[in-house]
């Protein structure tokens, strides 16, 4: 069984399917429900920061995509969200 993301316990059980069809698990220790196969965040802040710096240095979004391998629509979304707090 997957570890609980909240408390780290391995005492988790299957808890049926969520509405979107993904398997969910339930932690027997803290009672939290979670998705054992949830994908990690695609781009961390450590990834975003140099990319946004490059954009502010007037690198084109196509250039960013070529250099960093991040799709320009993703970068546009970050720009709209503003700098990380």
Cβ 47 to Zn ion shortest distance, Å: 28
Does residue 30 belong to the site contacting Zn ion (CB under 5 A)?
Answer: yes
Question: How far is the C-alpha of 32 from the C-alpha of 26, rounded, in Å?
Answer: 6
**Helices H, strands E: what count in the chain?**
3, 3
Q: How far apart (Å, rounded) are the C-alpha atoms in residues 78 and 61? A: 12
Least distance (Å) from Zn ion to the CB of residue 21? 23
Rule CB under 5 A: choose which of 14, 18, 22, 29 binds Zn ion: 29
| 27 contacts Zn ion (rule: CB under 5 A) | yes
Quick check: 10 binds Zn ion (CB under 5 A)? no
């Amino acid at each position: 069984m997957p570890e609980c993301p909240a408390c780290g316990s391995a005492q988790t059980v299957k808890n049926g399917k969520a509405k979107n069809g993904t398997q969910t698990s339930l932690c027997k220790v803290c009672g939290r429900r979670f998705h054992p196969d949830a994908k990690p965040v695609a781009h961390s802040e450590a990834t975003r920061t140099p990319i946004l710096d490059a954009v502010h240095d007037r690198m084109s979004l196509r250039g960013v995509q070529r250099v960093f391998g991040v799709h320009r629509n993703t970068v546009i979304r970050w720009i709209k969200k503003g700098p990380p707090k």
